Amino acid sequence: MATLDREYDVIIIGGGPNGLLTACYLSKAGAKVLLLERHHELGGGLITEEWSGFRFNTHAKLMMMMDRAPAYTDLELESWGCSYRYPDAPAAIFTRDGRALTLYPDIERTAASIARFSPADALRYVDVMQEWYAVVEEALIPATFTLPMPMLDMVVSYQQSEIGELVNEMAEETFLETLDNTGFESELLRTAILYLGTMYGMDPDGGLGFLLPLFYHRLLNASIIANGSHQLAGSLARFANRNGVTFERAAPVAKILCDGTRAIGVRLTSGQEIMAKKVVATTDPQTTFLEMVGEDVCNKASSSLVDQTKAWEWESTSLIDVHYALDRRPVHTAAAFDPVCDRALVKIMGVETVDELLEHIDLVRGGGVGMVGAGMTLTDLDPMQAPIDLEPNSAVACFETLAPYKHSDGSWDDLAAGYSRSFLDLWAQYAPNLADATVIRDYVNHPAYIEAKLPNMKRGSIKHGAYVTTQMLSNRPNIDCSSHRTPIENLYVAGASVWPGGMVLLAGGYNAAGVIADDLGLERWWKEPDFVVEARAKGLVG
């Protein structure tokens, strides 16, 4: 145990991306910060571990906001060693007959791909995407980096602009309705869009249709962190460290200490107590309020907090990821049809129609795992993630798909190994050279492992709780805590269970830091990005 002081300005519970971000911003603002992490390594879901020199990013892989997150420039993360790599093609959907539809961030380039399947859709795509991109760029990305407006205020405020009206309309739609409203006829295109929209567990029949354009647009702009996802955590940690943040690893917090209904510090499981002016929890709401604060204190502070927290809805599906260390990179048959698809970042396989995708999602909800998913070969973008000095042709590949928390066929421990084989067999149908590849290592990260490794992802809930209307925007994690302040004075929440949610957006911890800096009377040394200022002028952010 490092020598800790008795008191800090701010104690942050949890060293995931949000906790690290809050630490970075507040420490540079002058606060004396202690960050406590239960694991022996910082980063939360920003995990990169090595199997024989093959780097497996076992949790977070695709970064959906690196190009927009103000933190990247505010904190000069590139100069702290974090750079991200864009693929030439972010996504492609493969057909069983050896073709592929490749998707790009550029609308025209994608339209050219689509034209090979449906000339009519290629034309339509340009119109639809101009609208979708505007919704995302002008409203949704700015909203990511600001506090959510109260729902009703938002609806009213959004009525002032055309873009806002569109968001209001889409908010009432399901993903499927939003998709149908595009008028696309190509099943392959429709499937690709819905796949990207639902690959992290969104409900096709649920509400908040505007999340479909958001996920689609962001996955078409996804990048990976050079050297591995954990390098982002390392860069944030080095920035924080340089600004005086104290880190304590392998230090689980048992209790948030309160004086009445005011948080005053924490007690570690080791028994050590440390005091702070402000305590920031990046844990899930149930852990934060029911376990660390305790129901008694919550009930004294608020009549609804405990009930709201107990009603917290976890996601209905989780993920399974199989990571492979291979002696060769997969080469896809469809490369003959379209050479670019071979190196697409997200390669959708095993599904070609919306009905097939919906059946797949139903299967997962019923406790099964389908032979549908996304292959990714991160070493195509960053060869250093394999031991290329020794074996220049080697590669790291990953197959990811939705999975149930409880498998209907038995325990994950018993079933996991079988999926390593079956997903590789599926991939080999699209990339025949995998059939006789040597699998040097494989690792199956399944829902039970996710929960065991990241205990805040209860039931393998990768986003710390479902994205449903009752848990999004100003309802996340509940109406009283969505400003990051909580009914417990001096206690703040900043994890993925607060707007805008999980997925390493570099947003929640950033938004929280602003609020906490204000409350500590510290100057916000950072400047709001121009896109937020512009959105505010249009009434699109609060």
Note whether 52 binds other proteins by CB under 8 A: yes
User: Do residues 114 and 191 make contact, with C-beta atoms less than 8 angstroms apart?
Assistant: no
Q: Which of 82, 143, 306, 402 binds other proteins (CB under 8 A)?
A: 82
Question: Residue for token digits 């990511």?
Answer: 144
Pick 151 or 226: Cβ nearer other proteins: 226
Q: Which of 120, 123, 311, 384 binds other proteins (CB under 8 A)?
A: 384
Note whether 1 binds other proteins by CB under 8 A: yes
Pick 431 or 437: Cβ nearer other proteins: 437
- Omega prior to 477 cis, within 30 of 0: yes
Note whether 223 binds other proteins by CB under 8 A: no
Q: Which of 241, 299, 469, 470 binds other proteins (CB under 8 A)?
A: 241
Shortest Å, Cβ 251 to other proteins? 10
**Site map for other proteins, 286-315, x if CB under 8 A?**
------------------------------
Shortest Å, Cβ 410 to other proteins? 16
Pick 113 or 227: Cβ nearer other proteins: 227
Note whether 152 binds other proteins by CB under 8 A: no
Question: Residue for token digits 């305790």?
Answer: 294
**Site map for other proteins, 16-45, x if CB under 8 A?**
------------------------xx----
φ/ψ of 308, rounded to 5, equals -60, -40
Judged by CB under 8 A, how many residues of this single chain contact other proteins? 47
Note whether 84 binds other proteins by CB under 8 A: no
Cα–Cα distance, 202 to 145 (Å, whole number)? 21
Distance of CA 44 to the CA centre of its chain: 12
Pick 389 or 530: Cβ nearer other proteins: 389
Cα–Cα distance, 89 to 533 (Å, whole number)? 31
- Omega prior to 500 cis, within 30 of 0: yes
Cα–Cα distance, 402 to 201 (Å, whole number)? 7
Q: What is the DSSP string of 165-214?
A: HHHHHHHTS-HHHHHHTTT---HHHHHHHHHHHHTTS--TTSS-TTHHHH
Task: Show the beta-strand stretches assigned E in 367-450.
Answer: 373-376, 395-403, 439-445
Pick 11 or 193: Cβ nearer other proteins: 11
In 3D space, the residue among 289, 280, 285, 269 whose CA is nearest the CA of residue 245 turns out to be 280
φ/ψ of 256, rounded to 5, equals -95, 120
Cα–Cα distance, 62 to 504 (Å, whole number)? 9
Pick 138 or 380: Cβ nearer other proteins: 380
Shortest Å, Cβ 369 to other proteins? 19
**Site map for other proteins, 385-414, x if CB under 8 A?**
--x-xxx-----------------------
Q: Which of 30, 53, 368, 529 binds other proteins (CB under 8 A)?
A: 53
Shortest Å, Cβ 329 to other proteins? 16
Site for other proteins in 424-443 (CB under 8 A): 438, 440, 443
Note whether 415 binds other proteins by CB under 8 A: no
> Can you say whether the dihedral through the CA atoms of 397, 403, 405, 407 is positive or negative?
negative
Note whether 238 binds other proteins by CB under 8 A: yes
Shortest Å, Cβ 533 to other proteins? 25
Is 22 exposed, middle or buried (CB count within 10 Å of its CB: 0-12, 13-18, 19+)?
buried
Q: Is residue 13 within a helix (H) or strand (E), and if so which, with residue range?
A: strand 7-13
Shortest Å, Cβ 382 to other proteins? 7
Shortest Å, Cβ 107 to other proteins? 30
**Site map for other proteins, 60-79, x if CB under 8 A?**
----------------x-xx
Q: What is the DSSP string of 79-127?
A: TTT--EE--SSSEEEE-TTS-EEEE-SSHHHHHHHHHTT-HHHHHHHHH
Note whether 54 binds other proteins by CB under 8 A: yes
Kindly list the residues in this chain that would bind other proteins in the complex (CB under 8 A). 1-3, 40-41, 48-55, 76, 78-83, 226-228, 230-231, 234, 238-239, 241-242, 247-250, 382-384, 387, 389-391, 438, 440, 443, 449, 452-453
